């Protein structure tokens, strides 16, 4: 049984459609007291071994307390009125997989696929079948991992969820608790710490985390730290009592004056639902965690939340269907190389929780099973790298000491090279003399090509920002500052990768540079639009001009408080009256285009200036034609004519923003 997975994962304390005829057992099942349910129905099965409902409740209690291996013989006989046969087949197959009986599991899954009329279950059956087929290919892949039990630390009790900070290994364990958690029949867990040099544990320093982090008769476990080790986030909850904590929440504590402060629940917890298995990113600005909150893809899903300068978390985001499944996806960990590791029983694997890594290639997400020996038919989870090629994880595999154990691993891949790409820049504004001036306190966001915010940064007095980026991807830098026009600036890492064969070190950091210039939001400031061209004597918007006007659409959407005048200018060819008329038609044409794109007509006016406001000479001093000057004069520009009260900016949804943008 995996205590770590059960205590701080998504085994929900809730009733199922089928219910026990005995009211007491019904309540025990509802409140997650599975040990009592198992004992009661096992006693009944000694007299009635083929009782379908009794077998069902034993099987479900084993599964919901994360002992699915033990549920196999009971699912085989489960059934009766009110019990969904297709769900029983699915979980029976999962139990067979957990016991490495893949051929038998395949047969049960095929039966379920052919018999069910439930489309969601059909999809689950097919995915499980695909997963079993995948194992054959996975076995052919060469593994460079070496795995070893951390013998000096492990006990017959549970040790799980290792985390390393400033020479100290932190982990959760049930080793010293006499009180039993009724859901799993095992002791409650606390958080411990021990000094270690890599994987060499100094056992004499082992102790429970001092202070009031651990709580009597409450499960505490799964911990993560900020880069400086002075902030911790951990999970605590599920007492199993009717009036106690029925969920798991995340708590935060800071190290001040030589001690940890009283833990406080963080602001992203949701009542009645689970938030657990926290992991802070290497820069400490993003928190990853698992939750069964509404709106997910199945059991537990992985989420991220951004931490602001005040230490509050916000912008909770589901990591999406590429990562999350109908099963449990949990125990995230973001390594120094910005690769996300996590555990799942929904992606193709060996039967229970397996370890996976998220690889990014050309902007796309690829999920990779780490294979054996990192994974087994048991639960494998809670990975942590203390060096790029070695670290810790948790497993309840057969060779352990009796429950969850902590293991160490080394990756001997001769081609293992870690390249970290960073994008650094400075925010500026432009002085009246056209020189640059650093613009502090600017919020800069890094958006992916789909417009989703990946990271955020608020610049200091030096105007500097820094983001982790990936090779061969397109991004948008979004700059925001009160009194300035919101700026979107494309940036690409395509063509900027470093060949791996040229690297000699295990870890290489590559820093790319850029600048972000914001314009003041002021009335009567003119902005020339590039590439707005019209055919001779015409006012039609061509494709190239439309692409440039689409950028203006985005500016107007990002800055809903401004009204603008679209001005069109000509050179001095033809009469002034003719040029006034032509430029007015061209200005109106651009306004009409913006209106068709959804901009409120009340925010727009059109003005044709003809040849009255040249910015260059149409002719040379000797009277000859100046084609370069005339081209500059044939321009379209806009100016801000009114600035209203601040309004909420809508989300970025332009799919073709990168067209014709070079960086």
2.60.40.10, 2.120.10.30, 1.10.630.10, 2.30.42.10: CATH of 145-411: 2.120.10.30
Residue whose token pair is 């990014």: 360
Angle at 311 between CA 308 and CA 314, to 5 degrees: 50
Q: How far is CA 329 from CA 287, 346, 645, in A?
A: 16, 7, 44
pLDDT at 178: 59
DSSP letters spanning 240-287: --TTS--SEEEEEEEEETTEEPPPEE-TT--TTS-EEEEEE-TTSSEE
* Alpha carbons 211 and 545: distance in angstroms, whole number: 65
When pLDDT is cut at 50, 70 and 90, the band that residue 238 belongs to is low
* Helix (H) or strand (E) run with residue 580 in it: helix 576-596
pLDDT at 588 over 70: yes
CA dihedral 11, 233, 178, 352 (to 10 degrees): 30
Per-residue pLDDT of 272-315, as tens digits, reads 899 999 999 998 989 999 999 999 998 899 999 988 777 789 88
- 180-184, 258-262, 462-466: least confident range: 180-184
Quote the distance between the C-alpha of residue 321 and its chain's center: 11
Across the range 471-483, mean pLDDT stands at: 94
* Alpha carbons 25 and 56: distance in angstroms, whole number: 13
pLDDT at 480: 95
Assigned token pair, 313: 């978390």
Exposure string over 218-241, b if 16+ CB within 10 A, otherwise e: bbbbbbbbbeeeebbbbbbbbbbe
Across the range 132-145, mean pLDDT stands at: 87
32 vs 181, residue with greater confidence? 32
pLDDT at 22: 64
Residues in the chain: 663
pLDDT at 45: 93
Give the per-residue SS3 of 92-137.
Answer: HHHHHHHCCCHHHHHHHHHHHHHHCCCHHHHHHHHHHHHHHHHHHH
* Alpha carbons 173 and 540: distance in angstroms, whole number: 72
Answer for the pair 549, 593: CB distance below 8 angstroms, yes or no.
Answer: yes
When pLDDT is cut at 50, 70 and 90, the band that residue 184 belongs to is low
| Sign of the CA dihedral running 38, 43, 44, 45 | positive
* Alpha carbons 399 and 397: distance in angstroms, whole number: 6
Per-residue pLDDT of 412-455, as tens digits, reads 998 888 889 999 999 999 988 889 999 999 999 999 888 888 88
Residue whose token pair is 């190389």: 337
Instruction: Sort strands 562-569 and 604-610 into parallel, antiparallel or unpaired.
Output: parallel
Give the per-residue SS3 of 489-551.
Answer: EEEECCCCCCCHHHCCCCEEEEEEEEEEEECECCCCCEEEECCCCCCCCCCCCCHHHHHHHHH
pLDDT at 616: 85
Give the largest Cα separation in the chain, rounded: 114
Assigned token pair, 197: 């040099």
Assigned token pair, 280: 């802070």
Mapped onto helix, strand or coil, the DSSP state of residue 346 is: coil
Burial class of residue 519, CB neighbours in 10 A (0-12, 13-18, 19+): middle
Angle in degrees, 0-180, between the axes of helices 68-77 and 85-98, rounded to the nearest 10: 140
Assigned token pair, 427: 């925010």
Assigned token pair, 632: 């500059």
pLDDT at 475 over 90: yes
When pLDDT is cut at 50, 70 and 90, the band that residue 506 belongs to is confident
Instruction: Sort strands 453-458 and 340-344 into parallel, antiparallel or unpaired.
Output: unpaired
* Helix (H) or strand (E) run with residue 408 in it: strand 405-411
Per-residue pLDDT of 6-22, as tens digits, reads 555 433 333 333 443 56
Domain boundaries of the chain, sorted by first residue: 3-140, 145-411, 418-518, 526-643
* Helix (H) or strand (E) run with residue 194 in it: strand 190-197
Residue whose token pair is 């057992």: 25
Per-residue pLDDT of 256-284, as tens digits, reads 999 999 999 999 999 889 999 999 999 89
**Fold category of 3-140 in CATH:** 1.25.40
Mean pLDDT of the chain: 87
When pLDDT is cut at 50, 70 and 90, the band that residue 590 belongs to is very high
Q: How far is CA 66 from CA 1, 183, 214, 284, in A?
A: 6, 10, 23, 32
pLDDT at 181: 66
When pLDDT is cut at 50, 70 and 90, the band that residue 656 belongs to is very low
Across the range 597-624, mean pLDDT stands at: 90
- 229-243, 320-334, 390-404: least confident range: 229-243
Contacts of 527 (CB under 8 A, 6+ apart): 519, 637, 638, 639
β-bridge partners, 345: none
Across the range 114-136, mean pLDDT stands at: 89
**Fold category of 418-518 in CATH:** Immunoglobulin-like (2.60.40)
When pLDDT is cut at 50, 70 and 90, the band that residue 383 belongs to is very high
pLDDT at 176 over 80: no
Across the range 67-79, mean pLDDT stands at: 93
Per-residue pLDDT of 94-107, as tens digits, reads 999 889 899 999 99
Angle at 524 between CA 483 and CA 595, to 5 degrees: 85
Answer for the pair 3, 158: CB distance below 8 angstroms, yes or no.
Answer: yes
Class of domain 526-643: alpha beta
When pLDDT is cut at 50, 70 and 90, the band that residue 650 belongs to is low
pLDDT at 663 over 50: no
Per-residue pLDDT of 186-206, as tens digits, reads 788 999 999 999 889 999 999
Instruction: Sort strands 405-411 and 443-448 into parallel, antiparallel or unpaired.
Output: unpaired
Q: Tell me what percent of the chain is helix, strand and coil, each rounded to the nearest 5.
A: 25, 35, 45
List the alpha helices (DSSP H) in 141-204. Answer: none
Q: How far is CA 90 from CA 32, 67, 96, 112, 188, in A?
A: 22, 16, 10, 7, 31
pLDDT at 542: 83
Assigned token pair, 253: 């504590």
* Alpha carbons 64 and 296: distance in angstroms, whole number: 19
The CA-to-CA distance between both ends of the chain, in Å, stands at 54
564 vs 35, residue with greater confidence? 564
């Amino acid at each position: 049984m995996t205590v770590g997975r059960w205590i701080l994962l998504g085994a929900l304390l809730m009733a199922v459609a089928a219910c026990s005829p005995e009211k007491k057992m019904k309540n025990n099942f509802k409140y997650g007291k599975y040990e009592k349910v198992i004992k009661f129905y096992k006693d009944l099965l000694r007299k009635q071994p083929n009782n379908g409902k009794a077998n069902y409740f034993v099987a479900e209690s084993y599964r919901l307390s994360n002992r699915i291996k033990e549920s196999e013989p009971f699912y085989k006989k489960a059934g009766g009125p009110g019990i969904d046969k297709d769900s029983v087949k699915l979980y029976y197959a999962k139990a067979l997989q957990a016991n490495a009986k893949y051929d038998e599991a395949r047969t049960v899954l095929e039966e379920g696929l052919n018999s069910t009329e439930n489309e969601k279950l059909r999809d689950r059956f097919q995915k499980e079948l695909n997963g079993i087929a995948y194992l054959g290919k996975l076995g052919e892949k060469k593994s460079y991992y070496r795995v070893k039990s951390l013998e000096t630390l492990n006990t017959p009790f549970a040790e799980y969820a290792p985390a390393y900070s400033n020479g100290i290994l932190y982990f959760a364990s049930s080793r010293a608790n006499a009180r039993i958690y009724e859901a799993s029949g095992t002791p409650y867990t606390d958080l411990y710490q021990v000094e270690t040099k890599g994987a060499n544990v100094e056992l004499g320093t082992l102790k429970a985390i001092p202070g009031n982090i651990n709580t009597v008769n409450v499960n505490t476990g799964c911990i993560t730290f900020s880069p400086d080790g002075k902030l911790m986030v951990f999970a605590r909850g599920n007492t199993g009592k009717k009036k106690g904590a029925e969920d798991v929440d995340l708590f935060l504590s800071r190290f001040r004056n030589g001690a940890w402060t009283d833990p406080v629940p963080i602001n992203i917890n949701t009542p009645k639902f689970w938030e657990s298995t926290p992991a802070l990113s290497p820069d400490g600005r993003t928190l990853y965690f698992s939750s069964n909150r509404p709106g997910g893809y199945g059991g537990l899903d992985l989420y991220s939340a951004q931490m602001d300068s005040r230490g509050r978390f916000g912008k909770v985001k589901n990591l999406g269907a590429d990562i999350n499944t109908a099963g449990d996806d949990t125990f995230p960990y973001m390594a120094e190389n910005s690769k996300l590791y996590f555990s799942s029983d929904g992606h193709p694997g060996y039967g229970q929780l397996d370890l996976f890594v998220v690889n990014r290639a050309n902007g796309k997400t690829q999920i990779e099973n780490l294979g054996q020996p990192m994974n087994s038919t048991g639960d494998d989870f809670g990975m942590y790298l203390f060096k790029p090629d070695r670290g810790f994880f948790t497993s309840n595999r057969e060779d352990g000491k009796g429950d969850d154990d902590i293991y160490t691993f080394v990756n001997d891949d001769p081609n293992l090279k870690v390249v970290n790409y960073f994008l650094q820049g400075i925010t500026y504004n432009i002085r009246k003399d056209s020189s640059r001036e650093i613009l502090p306190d600017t919020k800069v966001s890094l958006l992916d090509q789909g417009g989703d915010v990946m990271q955020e940064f608020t610049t200091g007095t030096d105007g500097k920002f820094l983001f982790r980026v990936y090779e061969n991807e397109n991004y948008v830098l979004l700059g925001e500052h009160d009194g300035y026009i919101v700026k979107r600036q494309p940036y690409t890492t395509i063509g900027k990768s470093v060949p791996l064969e040229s690297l000699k070190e295990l870890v290489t950091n590559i820093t790319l540079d850029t600048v972000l210039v914001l314009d003041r939001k002021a009335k009567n400031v003119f902005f020339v639009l590039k590439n707005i061209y019209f055919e001779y004597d015409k006012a039609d918007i061509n494709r190239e001009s439309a692409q440039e006007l689409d950028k203006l659409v985005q500016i107007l959407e990002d800055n809903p408080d401004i009204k603008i005048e679209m001005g069109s200018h000509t050179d001095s060819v033809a009469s002034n009256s003719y040029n006034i008329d032509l430029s007015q038609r061209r200005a109106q044409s651009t306004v009409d285009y913006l209106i068709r794109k959804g901009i409120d007509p009340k925010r727009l006016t059109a003005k044709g200036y003809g040849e009255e406001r040249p910015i260059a000479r149409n002719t040379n001093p000797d009277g000859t034609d100046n084609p370069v000057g005339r081209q500059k004069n044939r321009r379209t520009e806009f100016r801000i004519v009114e600035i209203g009260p601040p309004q909420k900016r809508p989300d970025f949804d332009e799919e073709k923003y990168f067209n014709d943008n070079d960086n």
